[in-house]
Chains A and B, each alone.
Chain A
Amino acid sequence: MEKKDIIMCRCEDVTLEDLHKKIDEGYETFEDLKRLLRIGMGPCQANTCGILIQKELAKYLDKKIENVKTHHSRPMIQGISLEKINKEIKK
């Protein structure tokens, strides 16, 4: 399969080609790539792409996987509407 057809982050539609292009420009950490490609910023919060991208970074940069950090995970664990929170407060 061609690199441009391999999806690495499904939430934000980021391909292997996109990923390699940015790594080639010199961005080598998940945190860098997250900010520039939006990997891990979608609804799944890197639950799907996190490990895939970690493995790819290790392979492409010829590093041990233990030495490649994934991103800092943030709340919310699951999406919730502002309205629902507001209703709960009012109860």
Chain B
Amino acid sequence: MKKNICIIGAGISGMSIAYHLAIQGVKDILVIDKGYFTNGATGRCGAGVRQQWQTKMNCLLAKMSMEFFEKANEILDYDDDVELKQEGYLILATTIEEENQFKKNVILQNRLGIPSKVVNRKEALEIVPHLNPDSFLSATFCKTDGHLNPFKMTEAFYKACLRLGVEFHFFEEVKDLEVNDHKVNKVITDKEIYDVSVCINAAGGYASEIGKMADIDIPVFSENHEILATEPVEPMQGPMVMSFSKNIYCQQVPHGAFLIGRSNFNALPSHDMSSSWEFLDEMSQTVCDIMPKIGKLNIVRQWGGSYNMSKDHQPIISKSIELDNFYMACGFSGHGFMLAPMTGLLISELVLGQKPVLNIETLSIKRFLNDKKINIEKSVV
């Protein structure tokens, strides 16, 4: 079967890419996913959206994506609500080094038009009164950061894509790619073989495996990150509270539940998505230290999902070096949800040969050819 554009992966990245291509008039787009709707990291994520980053590129991608999220219901003509909650992110500094770094980050963010600021302990407690004042030194706050409902945001893209004629095949798995003359000619699935003009790898945790099918090396790997949800309670916390040094993010969503997650520094690269008691042990200690009041809440559910990691913790939004019609959007290192609007726009510009709205050389896969060129994003959990 002939198809113009084939996108592998119907997560938030694949959806946004399909939408941005379709809205520019591109026809005959097929999105293939081996699972159900939001089967990958997108359906497992915390869905926090923040603009407080340490690298310029992440700041810009997040800021421009936020501008999209703010109008997403209207832009995508969504019949429901993506539930954007814009009550900020409060990022705690718990060491002197963090305090110094955060001051520099805020200067960069302000220069790029992001309204973040350094707040002292007293001001932080006014923003989130149930914080333990002894657990941190100061914080930074950006009032326009926030949270979305990941399922509804994805559905908003999905329904807009359907209206624009994009075709979706769920429960169909890409098994192989056929490369000929520096091009991916065929996408081979467990159900069909497609002749394609363009192939886009948005396979999240499986991006590197998809690369291997086309005989190219994409330097990303997957890592299990765990998260839990508590019982829903009355609104008691506006912003996301986050600490890199204490390894936690904690957000009350509009439904009333708290979503609380952290990284496991011992996790080995794998596709494991299981839940562990170690996570609960460590998490309960951190929560009871920073926010004792939240410690009283019952945990209702815990789960894991894949972060697709790159070496510098910044995404790869790029055309392949070796193949003329193969593009990739992966390696989001735990922040692909909040960057998705820009991911879609930028990939669509690359595919259509337009000049990208941002100079995205630093997101090209070429940066890994010379590791000296990489600039590591450290503001991550």
Binding site for B on A (CB under 8 A): 27, 29, 31-32, 35-36, 38, 41-43, 45, 74-76, 79-83, 85-86, 89
Contacts and interface: CB of A to CB of B under 8 A. Distances in A.
Interface in B209-253: 229-231
A24 to B, nearest CB: 13
Interface string B272-302: 0001000011011101100010111111111
B169 interface: no
Contacts of A76: 299-302
A42 B39 CA distance: 20
Given A35-B37, A36-B152, A79 B296 contact: no
B255 interface: yes
B280 A42 contact: no
A79 B285 contact: no
18 contacts: A27-B37, A31-B36, A35-B37, A38-B255, A42-B300, A43-B231, A45-B301, A74-B275, A75-B275, A76-B300, A76-B302, A80-B298, A81-B298, A82-B230, A82-B288, A82-B295, A86-B285, A89-B281
A36 B230 CA distance: 18
Nearest to B36: A31
A79 B36 CA distance: 28
Given A32-B36, A35-B38, A89-B285, A81 B301 contact: no
B10 to A, nearest CB: 12
Interface of B: 36-39, 43, 151-152, 155, 229-231, 255, 275, 280-281, 283-285, 287-288, 292, 294-303
Contacts of A31: 36-37, 39
Contacts of B255: 38
Nearest to A36: B151
Contacts of A29: 36
A81 B295 contact: yes
A32 B37 contact: yes
Contacts of A27: 37
Nearest to B150: A35
Contact of B288 (A36, A42, A75, A86): A86
A85 B37 contact: no
B301 A74 contact: yes
Contacts, number: 73
7 closest A-B pairs (Cβ-Cβ)? A79-B298, A83-B295, A85-B284, A86-B284, A35-B151, A82-B284, A86-B288
B284 A89 contact: yes
Contact of A79 (B38, B283, B299): B299
Nearest to A31: B36
Contacts of B296: 81-83
A15 to B, nearest CB: 16
Contacts of A45: 300-301
Contacts of A81: 295-299
Contacts of A86: 284-285, 287-288, 295
Given A38-B255, A74-B302, A75-B302, A83 B275 contact: no
A2 to B, nearest CB: 22
- Among A29, A43, A85: residue with most chain B CB under 10 A: A85
B152 to A, nearest CB: 7
Nearest to A78: B298
A45 B280 CA distance: 18
Contacts of A74: 275, 301-303
A32 B39 CA distance: 9
Contacts of B36: 29, 31-32
B231 to A, nearest CB: 6
Contacts of B39: 31
B227 to A, nearest CB: 11
Contacts of B155: 36
